[in-house]
Amino acid sequence: MKDERKIKENKETRRSFLKKTALATTFATMSACGSDTSWDEFFQKYFRTLSREEKNQIIKRLENKYSEKYGKKFSVSAKGPIDNTLFGYALDVSRCIGCRKCVYACVNENNQSRDPQIHWIRVLEMEKEKGIDFAHSNDQYNPELVPEEGHFYLPVACQQCDNPPCVKVCPVKATWKEKDGITVVDYNWCIGCRFCMAACPYGARHFNWGEPDIPEEKVNPKTHYYGNRPRNKGVVEKCTFCIQRVREGLYPSCVEICPVGARKFGNLLDPDSEIRYILKHKRVMILKEELNTQPKFYYFY
């Protein structure tokens, strides 16, 4: 009996030893290839299912890493969803003037790479005569002054679908929908296969094709694990409604910056919220309704 257990234990330690050896070999190859990933980072387990203690350790490690890299004191929050909250967004198409202030406010708040350039919000210029017609839209418009005659503007970012096709396809569950309706990515678990990018009908997902570059003086040190903390190359990122802000009771930064007040945000479960008022009183639509993605991002006019 005793011997049997011993053999079993031996077997198990041998197996875990083999596992570790295999991973260690990969790690060695990796460092040889010039990757700056640390040992702990490579071995980091699936964050979502870790205990609070383990999560705290990871957060500590990340805070130190970022603080050292950018010369600023970083905070990485892992704050969970607030009870009885389901975030929704509404955008007044008739007010938007296409100034792209939201695009750059988002870049600054969320530490998107400046080179290669990543924008979570894409603003499409549409012809008034054609209505919402992607095939005749233009995202490279660049006039002296906006809005341009005969045009209107449609900013598109993550639609925070209730039925997100991107989550379904991820082979390693590195992305999922949180209780408050925000779809997030664990940048340390994403393998960079980009299946989610192929699945997203709104072009909301973006990939770090190269090592992200954020100037030290511009980096935002107040971050969230699932949100705007600095990313590595080779992972996918997306709009999180500024998870680091909205879970603290602030508005997303695109809502705050919008000079014409076209952007509205709030709790869909609160009957007295502004977003509920809009849904009740305005003519509201969603993009690509036929795909049954059930966005929580509404356009109204």
Partner 1 sequence: MTFIKFIKESFKVILKGNKWYYSWVGMLLVMFFWGGSGYLHQLKHGLSVTNMQDSISWGFYIGNFTFFVGVAAAAILLVIPAYIYNWKPVKEITIFGEILAVSAVIMALLFVVVDVGGPFRLWHMIPVIGVMNIPASLLTWDSIALNLYFILNLFIVTYLLYTHFRKKEYNKKLFNPLILLSIPMAISIHTVTAFLYNGLAARPYWNSALLAPKFIASAFCSGPAVLLILFQILKKTTKFEIKKEAIWKIAELMAYSMFIYLFFFFSEIFKEIYSGTHHLIYLKYLFLGIGEYNDLVIYAWLSIIFSIIAFFLFLIPKTRKNVVTLNIGAILIFIGVYIEKGIALITPGFSPDVLGQLYIYRPSMTELKTSLMIFSLGFLIFTFMTKVAVEIIFKNMNINNIKGDKINTT
Handedness of CA 33, 38, 43, 48 (dihedral sign): negative
- 37 touches partner 1 (CB under 8 A): yes
Which string of x and - marks every residue 45-64 that binds partner 1 (by CB under 8 A)? -x------------------
Interface with partner 1, residue 29, by CB under 8 A: yes
Q: Across the strands, what pairs with 153?
A: 125
End-to-end distance of the chain based on CA atoms, in angstroms? 76
Interatomic CA distance for residues 195 and 198, integer angstroms: 5
Task: Based on the shown chain and the rule CB under 8 A, indicate whether residue 169 belongs to the binding site for partner 1.
Answer: yes
Is the Cα torsion angle 12, 37, 240, 292 positive or negative in sign? negative
Contact window for partner 1 (CB under 8 A) among 1-9, 78-86, 117-125, 274-282: 117-125
Rounded Cα distance, 146 and 85, in Å = 36
With binding defined as CB under 8 A, does residue 107 bind partner 1?
A: no
Determine, following the binding rule CB under 8 A, whether residue 239 of this chain makes contact with partner 1: no
Please classify residue 249 by burial: count the beta carbons closer than 10 Å to its beta carbon, then call 0-12 exposed, 13-18 middle and 19+ buried.
exposed
How many CB atoms sit inside 10 A of residue 65's CB? 18
Closest approach, Cβ 162 to partner 1, in A, equals: 15
User: Which of 151, 206, 224, 296 touches partner 1 (CB under 8 A)?
Assistant: 206
R_g over Cα of the chain: 22
Count the site residues for partner 1 by CB under 8 A.
61
- Of 238, 108, 133, 112, give the one whose Cα is nearest residue 182: 238
Stretch that binds partner 1, among 104-112, 207-215, 239-247, 257-265 (CB under 8 A): 207-215
Tell me the C-alpha distance between 66 and 87, whole Å: 29
Instruction: Tell the smallest beta-carbon distance from residue 266 to partner 1 (Å).
Output: 26
Q: Shortest gap between Cβ of 47 and partner 1 (angstroms)?
A: 11
Nearer to partner 1, 137 or 223 (CB): 137
Q: Is the dihedral of CA 241, 247, 253, 254 positive or negative?
A: positive
Using the rule CB under 8 A, is 116 a contact of partner 1? yes
Where does this chain touch partner 1 (CB under 8 A) — which range of 26-34, 71-79, 248-256, 277-285? 26-34
Residues that bind partner 1 (CB under 8 A): 19, 23, 26-27, 29-30, 33-35, 37, 42, 46, 116, 118, 122, 124, 133-139, 156, 165, 167-174, 189-195, 197-203, 205-211, 232-236, 291-292
